[in-house]
Structure 1
Amino acid sequence: MNNIFLITKREFLTQVKKKSFIILTLLAPILIIGFGAVIGLMFKANESHNTIEVIDHSGIFQGQLKSNDKLTYLFVPTVTEKAKVDQLKGNETVDGILILPQLSNQNFDHLQKESRLIVNTKIGFETKQRIVSDITNVIKKEKMKKLGIAENQLLSLDKSFELKTINVSEDNKEDNDLTFGVKTGLSMILMYVTFMFIIIYGVRVMRSVLEEKNNRVVEIIISSVKPFELMMGKILGVTLVALTQFTIWIAMSVVGALVLNTGFSSLQDNIPGGNEEMMNKLDMTQVATQISHSLLELNFPLIIFVFIVFFLLGYIFYSSIYAAIGSAVDNETETQQFTLFAILPLMLGMYGSFSLMNNPDGPLGFWLSIIPFTSPVAMIARIPFGVPVWQLVLSIVLLLGTTVFMIFLAGKIYRVGILMYGNKATLKELWKWIRG
């Protein structure tokens, strides 16, 4: 244990003292935020404002088609239709002409058939759908007048039925759409973090082993320690590196969220009409309160416990595989044929877990969260929705037992492979090393 501790300490200090680690740890959150901002600016820069001239032969659309910041309607006299169409090509001030025919005998089918939009440039899908939606709303109002239906009556008819759901297995708690959305969001975040953690830092273990093997440093190290101690020290050392990095990122995220929240509140107060407009559209305070209430209803001690257990066991399980791969090959090119065996089960567990959102207690969710190869991500995806205790215990026992067994197998491969040079490892060779 003392040797494992010393190797873990050495691996940890070696990694965290690298300039690349310090730069990546400090800049990664900033780069992610900056990348998101650039993507947002790209979408913003690609937005267009279209000006559409409207020739309304029916007379029912005048004043009903409302312009906005992305689309402007300009009503022109019907007698200018031919001239406007002839002059459209090359006209840089107008993007299209919307021609709406005469409405005869309330024949809306004929109106739809004869209506047309003539353009001189590419009109985006969103713009076209907005025009269609605006026309549809006007026609809808006209049909309501014909049928003698008031607008408030139609709104009453369109009002959806809200069904309150009470879950007796969760102490009669109300399970509404917002609560389900919060659970789904938390589930996906925890699952994705675990998946990325295992992939990124598992590969780091493999590369560390491969680097020392190629530099022949390992020959000196194993003269003092056992190969198994070296392997476990590397895995635990990289684990501490990852936890350190995540701790710093979480702290930066919390501080950043507090700063941005204060800054956003001050900025919003100084925008003329900003608060009023936002509050008219959406009561953000109420939504935030509901989300906070939904989060507080979750069993966070259990969620945190399960996350840590499956997070660490899953990482050690797959890191032992990556360590074995790193010891069995001579270069990174050869790792490709073996890393697929580690990535595929994780991908199967992650993508299979997306279907758990609709039925967390279904057979697929059960088996994905029980089988050790997929349980590190699948069980974490299920836990916010609630998992029976017996399933949780069974999954932990199976994952723990399989992890110990995998460490044993990886240790046998590591013991032989770490000193093998110029001999391309095959599955047959690996089997011999395991049996030896």
Structure 2
Amino acid sequence: MNNIFLITKREFLTQVKKKSFIILTLLAPIMLIAFGSVIGLMFKANESHNVIQVVDRSGLFKNQLPSDNKINYIFIPAADEQAHMKTLKHNESLDGILILPELKNRDFKDLQNNIRLVVNNKIGFDTKQRIINDINNVIKKEKIREMGIAEKQLYDLDKAFTLKTINIAEGNKEDSDLAFGVKSGLSMLLMYVTFMFIIIYGVRVMRSVLEEKNNRVVEIIISSVKPFELMMGKILGVTMVALTQFIVWITMSVIGALILNTGFTSIQKNIPGAGESITEKLDVAQIATEVSHSLLELNFPLIIFVFIIFFLLGYIFYSSIYAAIGSAVDNETETQQFTLFAILPLTLGMYGSFTLMNNPDGPLGFWLSIIPFTSPVAMIARIPFGVPAWQIALSILLLLGTTVFMIFLAGKIYRVGILMYGNKATLKELWKWIRG
């Protein structure tokens, strides 16, 4: 046991003292924010501003098509249509001419079928769809007016409402849309973090084992400690590295959120109604308070407990597989045929967990959170929504038992494979090592 502690300490200190670890730990959140900002700027930079001239032969659309920073509608007389058509091809300040035909016998369908947009270059799908929606909105208003219905009356008929949900199993607690959104966001965050940490640090264990094996350093180490102690020391050491990095990132995220929240005062939200925009100013502090209230209503002690247990057990479970793979091969190229056995079940659990948002207590959610190969991510995805205690206990027992069994199998493979050179490990060969 003392040897495992010493190896764990050595592995931990070796990793955290590296400049790459310190730089990545401190810069990763900043890089992530910067990456998101760049993606947002790319979408913004790719937005187009189109100038569209409109020939309204029906007189129905005059001053009814809304212009903004994406589309600018300019109405021109029908008599000037041909003149503008001739100069359209070489007019760089104009993107197209929208021809709205005459409305005959109040036949709106015929009008829509004969609308044409002549362009001098390609326009985006979003721009085309925006023009269609603007035209349809005008036609819709005209049809409503003909039926003698005020637009405000129609808006009142279509006005949505919020259905209050009261869960008697949780002490008659009201489950609002905001609370559901908070639970969904927390669920996806915890699930994705667990998935990424298991993959990233599991591969790190495998590479560490492979590096020592290729450098023949392990031959010296094995003379002092047992192979099983070496394997467990490596796994636990990298586990501590992962937890350290995770704690630093969480701390930086909380501090960053507190700083950013003080920099905003209000946001605006437009709600269409009665032909105009009703602008509501929502105080960010109020939104933050509501989100915080929803978070505080969650059973955080249970969520943290389940997260830590399933994160650690899931990590040790898959790291044992990666350690066995690293000891069974001679180079990283050969690891590809074996790493699929570790990646596929975990990936299945993650993508399967996306469906849990609609029905956390469904059969798929139950089995994904019970089967040990998928439970490290699926149970963490379910826990913010509430999981029966017996399911949590059953899942932990199954994962714990499977983890111990996997450590045993990995130890068998590690004991033989760590000293094997030049022999390509096959599934048949691995089975012999396990049996031996």
TM-score range, shorter chain: over 0.9
Q: Which residue of 2 aligns with 1:107?
A: 107
SS in 2 for 1:209: helix
* 1:283 counterpart SS class: strand
Displacement after TM superposition at 1:162 (Å): 3.4
Give the aligned length: 428
Q: Could you tell me how far 1:203 is from its partner in structure 2? A: 0.3
Shift of 1:151: 1.4
Equivalent residue, structure 2, for 1:431? 431
Report the Cα distance in structure 2 between the residues aligned to 1:296 and 1:84, rounded to whole angstroms: 63
State the 1:164 CA deviation.
2.2
What whole-Å deviation, never above 9, does each CA across 1:60-112 have from its counterpart, x for those lacking one?
21111121011101011111112212221111111011111111222111110
Length-normalised TM-score, structure 1: 0.95
**Structure 2 counterpart of 1:147, which letter?**
M
The whole-number CA distance in structure 1 between the counterparts of 2:387 and 2:32 is 33
Deviations 1:123-178 (A, max 9, x none): 11111121111111111111111011011100111112433222221211222322
What is the letter of the counterpart of residue 424 of structure 2? K
Determine the structure 1 residue equivalent to 2:337: 337
How far residue 363 of structure 1 moved from its aligned partner, in angstroms, is 1.1
| 2:149 aligned residue | 149
Q: 1:260 to 1:164 in 2, by over 3 A?
A: closer
1:368 Cα deviation from its structure 2 partner: 0.8
Determine the structure 2 residue equivalent to 1:283: 282
2:273 is matched with none
What one-letter code is carried by the residue in structure 2 that aligns with 1:93?
S
- CA separation of 1:117/1:184 partners in 2, compared to 1, >3 Å: closer, same or farther? same
Distance 2:28 2:349 in 1: 27
How far off its partner does 1:293 sit?
A: 2.4
Alignment of 1:37-76 (within 5 A): 37-76=37-76
Which sits farther off after the overlay, 152-161 or 408-417?
A: 152-161
Is the 2:268–2:282 contact (alpha carbons within 8 Å) kept by the matching residues of 1?
no
Within 2, Cα distance between the matches of 1:325 and 1:128?
54
Task: Give the deviation of 1:195 after TM superposition.
Answer: 0.5
Distance across 1 between alignment mates of 2:49 and 2:399: 56
Distance 1:54 1:81 in 2: 9
C-alpha distance in structure 2 between counterparts of 1:304 and 1:348, whole Å? 24
Match of 1:254 in 2: 254
Which amino acid in the other structure matches residue 354 of structure 2? F
Deviation at 1:276?
6.8
Alignment of 1:201-220 (within 5 A): 201-220=201-220
* Structure 2 counterpart of 1:354: 354
Residue identity matched to 1:395:
S
Amino acid at match of 2:410: A
Aligned counterparts of 2:31 and 2:382: Cα–Cα separation in 1? 31
Q: Which residue of 2 aligns with 1:325?
A: 325
> What is the identity, as a one-letter code, of the residue corresponding to 2:282?
D
Q: What is the distance in 2 between the residues matched to 1:67 and 1:358?
A: 39
Matches within 5 A, 1:48-197: 48-197=48-197
Paired with 1:402 and 1:38, the residues of 2 have a C-alpha distance of 43
CA shift, 1:289, in A, is 3.2
Partner of 1:392: 392
**Structure 1 unaligned regions, length at least 5:** 269-273
1:297-347 C-alpha deviation (Å, 9 max, x unpaired): 211111111000000000000001100111111111111111100001101
Measure the CA separation in 2 of the matches of 1:59 and 1:432: 86
Question: What is the TM-score of this pair, normalised by structure 2?
Answer: 0.95
In structure 2, the partner of 1:302 is 302
Q: Which deviates the most, 340-349 or 292-301?
A: 292-301
Rounded to whole Å, the distance in 1 between the matches of 2:290 and 2:133 is: 32
Looking at structure 2, the residues matched to 343 and 356 of structure 1 have their Cα atoms a distance apart, in angstroms, of 20
Is 2:95–2:119's contact at 8 Å kept on the other side of the alignment?
A: yes
Moved more, 312-321 or 111-120: 111-120
Which whole-Å deviations, capped at 9, do the CAs of 1:205-228 have from their partners, x for residues lacking one? 000011011111111111111111
CA distance in 2, matches of 1:93, 1:209: 64
Please give the alpha-carbon distance, in whole angstroms, between the structure 1 residues aligned to 2:160 and 2:243. Answer: 47
Q: Deviations over 1:9-41 (max 9, x none)?
A: 100111111121122112222221221121122
| One-letter amino acid matched to 1:283 | L
The aligned amino acid for 1:388 is P
C-alpha contact (below 8 Å) 2:16/2:241 kept by paired residues: yes
Counterpart-to-counterpart distance in 2, 1:18 and 1:380: 31
CA distance in 1, matches of 2:52, 2:328: 67
Query: Mind listing any 5+ residue stretches in structure 2 that lack a counterpart?
Result: 271-277
